[in-house]
Amino acid sequence: MGATKEVKEKKLTPDESSKLILNYLRKTNRPYSATDISTNLNNKVTKAAATKLLKDMHERNEIDGKASGKQIVYFAIQDEVDEHFEETMQAKEAETERLRTEIISLKTEEKELRLALRAESTIVTTAELRSNAEKLEQEKVELQERLAKLKSGKVKPVDPERKVQIVAARKKWAKIVANRKKIRKELWGMILDATEKDKVAERKEEVGIEGDI
């Protein structure tokens, strides 16, 4: 089989481009900027060409135009004026402004969350919590071993008051270890909330976490 040759699309003349734009505006009956028209026509008319043609057509009163923000939108001239057109334009401009404000607000919130996360990490790191927890765990093990010896009778009995103190100390350290683990888990939860899913492993490596919290 022979190679299939792609047929290059014919370049439109200025008159053909103007007619294409005018027909599109009449068909859609909506306001568009030069960029929108070029995109919607699949770049049959370039943005630069659309900008010039629209301006010329507007000056010849073939179409109408209106400033919308920092750009000009153009629309077909109707035989009867759409009484709702002004309201529609105002509504679109209001919606655009609302979205701009929302984007600014979201960016500010993101910045505040990042700063809060950095502040938390400077207070106490996960690595420090893990180190402290390991020390407390070792102390707990030592106390458990001493208590086991006392209960087994392999050492001389201690007075009841001393035994109560040892048991109380064991409970105290066990509670401290549990609290430290809880704090570590909560801090890691805060870090996760501000971390993208695909960067969790990287974040774990940064703060020195191995395995599950």
Final residue of a structural domain among 25, 53, 79: 79
Domain identity same for 72 and 133: no
pLDDT at 5: 46
Q: What's the pLDDT band for 88 if we cut at 50, 70, 90?
A: confident
Domain identity same for 130 and 185: yes
Contact 207, 131 (CB under 8 A): no
Average pLDDT over residues 37-65: 92
In the chain, the amino acid numbered 97 is: E
Kindly tell me the burial class for residue 38, based on how many C-beta atoms sit within 10 Å of its own C-beta (0-12, 13-18, 19 or more): buried
What average pLDDT is seen over the chain?
79
- Give the pair of three-digit tokens for residue 34: 């030069």
Other CB atoms within 10 A of residue 46 CB: 15
Q: What's the pLDDT band for 4 if we cut at 50, 70, 90?
A: very low
Q: Over the stretch 126-180, which tens digit does the pLDDT of each residue have?
A: 677 778 778 888 888 888 887 777 666 665 666 777 777 888 888 888 888 888 7
Total residue count of the chain as it appears in this document: 213
User: Per the structure, how many domains does the chain have?
Assistant: 2
SS3 8: coil
Final residue of a structural domain among 45, 60, 79: 79
Residues 19 and 67: their CA atoms lie apart, in Å, by 23
Domain span at 65: 14-79
Q: Over the stretch 7-47, which tens digit does the pLDDT of each residue have?
A: 566 788 999 999 999 999 989 888 999 999 999 999 999 99
Does residue 210 register a pLDDT over 60? yes
pTM equals 0.36
- Which residue, 212, 192, 197, 201, is CA-closest to 120? 192
Does residue 110 register a pLDDT over 50? yes
For residue 100, give every residue at least 6 positions away whose Cβ sits within 8 Å of its Cβ, in sequence order, or none.
none
pLDDT at 23: 93
Q: Is residue 63 in some structural domain?
A: yes
CA distances from 68 to 11, 14, 31, 49, 72 (A): 31, 26, 10, 20, 6
Q: What's the pLDDT band for 116 if we cut at 50, 70, 90?
A: confident
Domain identity same for 140 and 191: yes
Question: Residue 64: which H helix or E strand, with range?
Answer: strand 63-68
Which residues sit opposite 173 in a β-bridge? none
In the chain, the amino acid numbered 36 is: D
Q: Is residue 195 in some structural domain?
A: yes
Q: Is residue 173 in some structural domain?
A: yes
pLDDT at 137: 84
Phi/psi for 83 (5° steps) reads -65, -20
